[in-house]
Amino acid sequence: MFAFKKPSKTDYAQLLKNMYHSKINKQLTHWNDSMCNSQKTEKNLILLIFCLIISLLFAVGDLTLIGSRNYTSR
């Protein structure tokens, strides 16, 4: 009825090679995605810290200006 061809050793080797490469590609894709996400998070964190430092500098500058006006007005 049905004639099945017995797989040869090269067929098994090719199958194992394909499975191995697909597993490596999946792992590399996963690592690449996680690296991109962590780099985005790191950039956002750096930007947030930079903005906080700038706003603190402006706040300190405003306080010193207010203090100097009060001091000179006396």
The identity of residue 47, as a single letter, is L
In this structure, what is the dihedral angle of CA atoms 40, 44, 46, 50, given to the nearest 10 degrees? 150
Does residue 71 have a pLDDT over 60?
A: no
Does residue 42 have a pLDDT over 70?
A: yes
Q: For residue 23, give the 3-state DSSP assignment.
A: helix
Does residue 1 have a pLDDT over 60?
A: no
Percentage of the chain lying above the pLDDT 70 cut: 77
Query: Which structure tokens are listed for 58?
Result: 């402006």
Task: Give the residue-averaged pLDDT of 26-50.
Answer: 82
